[in-house]
Amino acid sequence: MNKWIRKSFVVLVSVLTFGLITPTQLINNANAEKPTERDTIEAALLRGYAQENSFFETEEVVDKEKFLEDLIKQAELQSYQKFGTRIKPVIENEFREIIMPNIEKALQETAAQFPTEDLVNLAITETPGKGQSEKIFNIKNSETNMDVLRFHVRRDNPPQAGYWFNFHYHTYHDGFQSHHELGSIYWDKNTPPKWMS
């Protein structure tokens, strides 16, 4: 019986938030360090998004600009979650100025490839990769459960140049083979901490 209740809760949270918030994220957030003011604001934005887009409003016609705006907010929040509390304060400003505009452009170009009514099928995956993983988030078609875009960040350490975070994405058009550059941010000569630490 307990397993059934847990599964029902997972389904309920996923349905109410279109899969943008999962019970795993709720548990991770509960175990996180004391939230900062910015984290509190981001959580409020996320709750507002979930309330505005509940499944009871499915008859509403999809507004492409609003959908893109919400997708971009989710991409930014997912990126900050990936950075964790040790990396985020150091690179947040550069990320917002250099990388986010390029992520926005990639999302806009992708959205332009889909008819407006099919945009509701595009969703951001649940959690970024931890540790050494490159995954920030994926955009998938929830109807086919296939990835459309994969956004990654790689740690580069060119000889005598310190550590850099190289942001890029891959598309389904070429089987996720080519790197589409979003930009790079310098970290330091010292090894950066693991993601989400």
Task: Please say if the pLDDT value at position 192 is more than 90.
Answer: yes
Q: 15: pLDDT confidence band, cut at 50, 70 and 90?
A: low
pLDDT of residue 186: 96
Backbone angles phi, psi at 110, to 5 degrees: -70, -45
CA distance 129 to 36: 22
Task: Please say if the pLDDT value at position 59 is more than 50.
Answer: no
Beta strands in the chain (DSSP E): 122-124, 135-141, 146-156, 163-171, 180-188
Q: What would the mean pLDDT of 52-60 be, rounded to a whole number?
A: 42
Task: Please say if the pLDDT value at position 190 is more than 80.
Answer: yes
pLDDT of residue 60: 43
Highest mean pLDDT among 100-109, 116-125, 127-136: 100-109
- Of 56 and 5, more confident: 5
Average pLDDT, the chain: 79
Q: What would the mean pLDDT of 94-99 be, rounded to a whole number?
A: 96
Q: How far is CA 37 from CA 78, 81, 85, in A?
A: 17, 15, 13
Residue pLDDT, tens place only, 128-152: 888 889 999 999 998 889 999 999 9
Domain segments of the chain: what residues?
Answer: 2-188
pLDDT of residue 90: 95
Write down the pTM of the prediction. 0.68
Residue pLDDT, tens place only, 146-188: 999 999 999 999 998 999 999 999 999 899 999 999 999 999 9
Query: Do residues 67 and 110 touch, judged by C-beta distance below 8 A?
Result: no
